[in-house]
Chains A and B, each alone.
Chain A
């Protein structure tokens, strides 16, 4: 029977050629698409055999290095979409954008985050005024775009109940201003971050509680630096190449106030002259054009010369807001607690700062357990 012979031939060709080609082709160490190191070759030893780590490593090594891996992964997404699935890798595939699905928040983490912020505000009550802004994600701003009947948490309710747990802290509503401008390009289509314009809107919401007068949008020169940005949501879902994003950089038309950007890592520090890291536009993760890769502490110094100093505790949403906040401070210390491994006082004298801002997006905040460092460090 001819058909059986063809089947046999194809079957053996696949199970022999796939591993053979994989074996002989040069291996990649890093998957840019996934932003992670790929598995290394398994190590053979009595120990690794008896504890089965050798076997597990072999399986992940094969899966990580199999030839055509990324193409196959994209094909799988296409098949999933074909079967009617609209949530792929935790991302809702909507008609004109990808939207990150935020899972049910952990009440304990939320409560301990509130406690940490309260303790911080209490501790520095004499010298610093503390402000908190939780930014809703695209899932909350665009519920009408989600797949029909797709479950999603009520982020406004979450933010409100979180704010209710805070004492002696200014709280900022970012939801209203973002929703009012939802027709505009305020969230990337293939990335979970807000765009520069989205960050600008967040900045206007901060004006009153932080006590500055927000510059109007037309006071900035806008530079379109990328038109083919495929962000984190693309990496997760592996579809929507056609929705590729553009990135805008905002600079103040009366001159960029930023003089020094100092990135600390361990005992070393490195100084740059701009908050934009344009070389990152060449790579996959183009959002890191804003302030670079996440880092425990970045100090931004400006020529504003008004004596005001701001301390920001944040996730990466805040990185895009620095283009605007730098107009109003002589110095901004940007702290990412997730990457901070030494006490902050090793670097900074906290008594110099008059304001503290906690700027997080709901997506990371609901599972971020690093906030407790804010008082212990």
Chain B
């Protein structure tokens, strides 16, 4: 179930919230677990069993580590077993086709492709569940003895299928005890509505531009259209993903949880290093804690650093999808980060800020080309269109039409990715004090109703064929 669906907004959410608020404190986690399983089963009625198995393994591993408290070797063995099993599931369901295809083409073998469909959110919940076992082994958290509480953590529906990657340590205290207040619920609703608007009003509408452009023939694609297209995607993926994270954070608050932030105005970054501190922050910090630092981080000499960064970024790429273009995309950022770490970072800082921003933004946009194109010829074709190397010229009528008919959305998308809305609100608040809350309330209510208009019309689809 996705948050931006009618089933969720007008079915699941009101029912679950009502029950959740009514039942006594001690049953609330049970409601969370059951609702989470239903939420997941709605999208994966069969694979919900895989998730349950993951939960059972990690819960069991926690209990075993507790039992072997004095025996470090056994604890290590339990932790490694659990991590291997977690990764095994991820590997089987997400990467088996990719591995088999590559083996086949490399060794001319004929291993049948299992073609397993990817269970929704497996990359997210596996990473979340693994954080528990590893942190427990490191004694950074305490064991969770209640199965309901542990399963409730993994299946907590706001963050279950698309992040943020909430680590067990982030919510350890809250799982056992949390405060639910009208103030928190109100804040949660605000954040949820803003996230919904990002997804439905910005990501979906601007995404339509990219869908159009992506389907065009790149050999005749004029440069302006290519840029409009890839910039549209740049905003689409940001609003899609950060909108989903905001909805998760908002829903979490409505249930009484505080989740970590996942995005912090990434397109304002002035270097790639900064970009990755602001983009999908929970993933970056996950890899940092569980891969980069255990490998020695940056305290392993120059070549060790090169190795560590490349490994981490290859994995980051691969985490996004089982395909070579994601690996390239990850390595692309890994290499830029290395260069920035080694010498470029200091040099850039001497540039005017606008050039620093332009440097980082353009590299990110080029990255999205790698992210979106699944073959080398497509990548080459699109880049040559962007730089006019395909001889299709700068622009045509269609480029102007695309720009004009989407001007408002593009402008809104650009403005909302900066600090401007926040500054504007701050300015309102200083000027009118109480009035500012009215402005915010009105904005959020309008956004909510507009989102509903866009959601409801998703099936408005005149069937006019038999009129023709």
State the A residues within 8 Å of B (CB).
Answer: 1-8, 10-12, 14-16, 18-19, 22, 33-36, 39, 49-50, 52, 55, 58-60, 62-64, 66, 69, 72-73, 75-76, 79, 82-87, 89, 147-151, 192, 232, 235-236, 238, 285, 287-288, 293-294, 315-316, 363-364
B186 touches A4 (CB 8 A): yes
The answer to whether residues A50 and B46 also contact, given A84-B404, A87-B405 and a CB cut-off of 8 A, is yes
The answer to whether residues A84 and B445 also contact, given A66-B6, A76-B454 and a CB cut-off of 8 A, is no
B460 touches A15 (CB 8 A): no
Least CB separation from B441: chain A residue: A3
A7–B189 alpha-carbon span in the complex (Å): 8
- In the complex, whether B408 has a CB less than 8 A from a CB of chain A is yes
A59 CB to nearest chain B CB (Å): 5
Tell me which residues across on chain A come within 8 A of B398, comparing CB atoms.
Answer: 149, 151
Binds A, one of B7-15, B24-32, B154-162: B7-15
A316–B1 alpha-carbon span in the complex (Å): 42
A4–B456 alpha-carbon span in the complex (Å): 25
Please indicate which of the listed interface residues B46, B406, B456 has the most CB atoms of chain A within 10 Å of its own CB.
B456
Tell me which residues across on chain A come within 8 A of B452, comparing CB atoms.
Answer: 14, 18, 72
Q: Per-position contact with A for B368-410: 1 when CB-CB < 8 Å, else 0?
A: 0000000000000000000000000000011011001111110
Least CB separation from B21: chain A residue: A12
Known: A15-B13, A149-B400, A294-B467. 6 other contacts (CB 8 A): A3-B438, A3-B441, A4-B189, A55-B42, A60-B459, A151-B398
The answer to whether residues A34 and B14 also contact, given A3-B441, A5-B182, A147-B401 and a CB cut-off of 8 A, is no
B462 touches A12 (CB 8 A): no
Cross-interface CB contact of A58 among B11, B186, B441, cutoff 8 Å: B11
A287–B404 alpha-carbon span in the complex (Å): 34
Cross-interface CB contact of A52 among B45, B190, B408, cutoff 8 Å: B45
A236–B437 alpha-carbon span in the complex (Å): 39
- In the complex, whether B107 has a CB less than 8 A from a CB of chain A is no
* A-B contact list, 6 entries, CB within 8 Å: A11-B448, A62-B10, A63-B6, A76-B454, A79-B453, A83-B409
B84 CB to nearest chain A CB (Å): 30
Cross-interface CB contact of B408 among A60, A83, A315, cutoff 8 Å: A83
Tell me which residues across on chain A come within 8 A of B185, comparing CB atoms.
Answer: 8
- In the complex, whether B105 has a CB less than 8 A from a CB of chain A is no
- Considering only residues 88-113 of chain B, those with a C-beta below 8 Å from chain A are none
A151 touches B444 (CB 8 A): no
A287 touches B6 (CB 8 A): no
A89 touches B456 (CB 8 A): no
Tell me which residues across on chain A come within 8 A of B186, comparing CB atoms.
Answer: 1, 4-5, 7-8
A-B pair number, CB within 8 angstroms: 158
Q: Per-position contact with A for B428-444: 1 when CB-CB < 8 Å, else 0?
A: 00000000011011001
A47 CB to nearest chain B CB (Å): 11
A18–B457 alpha-carbon span in the complex (Å): 15
The answer to whether residues A69 and B401 also contact, given A33-B462, A232-B467 and a CB cut-off of 8 A, is no
A206 CB to nearest chain B CB (Å): 20
B437 touches A3 (CB 8 A): yes
A148–B397 alpha-carbon span in the complex (Å): 9
Tell me which residues across on chain B come within 8 A of A87, comparing CB atoms.
Answer: 405
B214 CB to nearest chain A CB (Å): 15
Tell me which residues across on chain B come within 8 A of A232, comparing CB atoms.
Answer: 462, 464, 467
B401 touches A76 (CB 8 A): no
A3–B398 alpha-carbon span in the complex (Å): 45
Least CB separation from A39: chain B residue: B459
Tell me which residues across on chain B come within 8 A of A85, comparing CB atoms.
Answer: 405-406
A79–B400 alpha-carbon span in the complex (Å): 21
A287 touches B467 (CB 8 A): yes
Tell me which residues across on chain B come within 8 A of A19, comparing CB atoms.
Answer: 10-11, 14
Which 3 pairs between the two chains have the least Cβ-Cβ distance? A4-B186, A36-B463, A149-B401
A36–B464 alpha-carbon span in the complex (Å): 8
Tell me which residues across on chain A come within 8 A of B407, comparing CB atoms.
Answer: 84
A85–B189 alpha-carbon span in the complex (Å): 30
A72 touches B453 (CB 8 A): yes
The answer to whether residues A50 and B45 also contact, given A4-B186, A83-B409 and a CB cut-off of 8 A, is yes
A35 touches B463 (CB 8 A): yes
Least CB separation from A77: chain B residue: B457
- In the complex, whether B461 has a CB less than 8 A from a CB of chain A is yes
A69–B187 alpha-carbon span in the complex (Å): 29
A5–B437 alpha-carbon span in the complex (Å): 11
- In the complex, whether B468 has a CB less than 8 A from a CB of chain A is yes
- In the complex, whether B43 has a CB less than 8 A from a CB of chain A is yes
B45 touches A34 (CB 8 A): no
The answer to whether residues A35 and B405 also contact, given A60-B459, A73-B457 and a CB cut-off of 8 A, is no
A10–B409 alpha-carbon span in the complex (Å): 27
A62 touches B6 (CB 8 A): yes
Q: Per-position contact with A for B174-204: 1 when CB-CB < 8 Å, else 0?
A: 0000000011011101100100000000000
A60–B5 alpha-carbon span in the complex (Å): 10
A76–B449 alpha-carbon span in the complex (Å): 10
Least CB separation from B44: chain A residue: A52
Cross-interface CB contact of B7 among A11, A58, A82, A86, cutoff 8 Å: A58
Least CB separation from A364: chain B residue: B468
A15 touches B466 (CB 8 A): no
Cross-interface CB contact of B190 among A7, A64, A293, A363, cutoff 8 Å: A7
- In the complex, whether B300 has a CB less than 8 A from a CB of chain A is no
A272–B377 alpha-carbon span in the complex (Å): 61
Tell me which residues across on chain B come within 8 A of A66, comparing CB atoms.
Answer: 6, 10, 456
- In the complex, whether B458 has a CB less than 8 A from a CB of chain A is yes
- In the complex, whether B450 has a CB less than 8 A from a CB of chain A is yes
A151 CB to nearest chain B CB (Å): 5
A12–B9 alpha-carbon span in the complex (Å): 10
Least CB separation from B465: chain A residue: A338
Tell me which residues across on chain A come within 8 A of B441, comparing CB atoms.
Answer: 3, 6-7
The answer to whether residues A7 and B444 also contact, given A72-B452, A73-B460 and a CB cut-off of 8 A, is yes
Least CB separation from B437: chain A residue: A3
Least CB separation from A368: chain B residue: B468
Tell me which residues across on chain A come within 8 A of B7, comparing CB atoms.
Answer: 55, 58-59, 62
Tell me which residues across on chain B come within 8 A of A39, comparing CB atoms.
Answer: 459
A82–B407 alpha-carbon span in the complex (Å): 11
A237–B464 alpha-carbon span in the complex (Å): 12
A64–B440 alpha-carbon span in the complex (Å): 32
Q: Per-position contact with A for B270-305: 1 when CB-CB < 8 Å, else 0?
A: 000000000000000000000000000000000000
A175–B17 alpha-carbon span in the complex (Å): 62
Least CB separation from B463: chain A residue: A36
Cross-interface CB contact of A63 among B18, B42, B187, B459, cutoff 8 Å: B459
Tell me which residues across on chain B come within 8 A of A34, comparing CB atoms.
Answer: 460-463
A150–B437 alpha-carbon span in the complex (Å): 42
A12 touches B14 (CB 8 A): yes
Cross-interface CB contact of B45 among A5, A49, A73, cutoff 8 Å: A49
B182 touches A8 (CB 8 A): yes
Cross-interface CB contact of A150 among B10, B183, B401, B457, cutoff 8 Å: B401
B97 CB to nearest chain A CB (Å): 21
A316–B452 alpha-carbon span in the complex (Å): 36
Tell me which residues across on chain A come within 8 A of B46, comparing CB atoms.
Answer: 50
B405 touches A4 (CB 8 A): no
A10–B192 alpha-carbon span in the complex (Å): 14
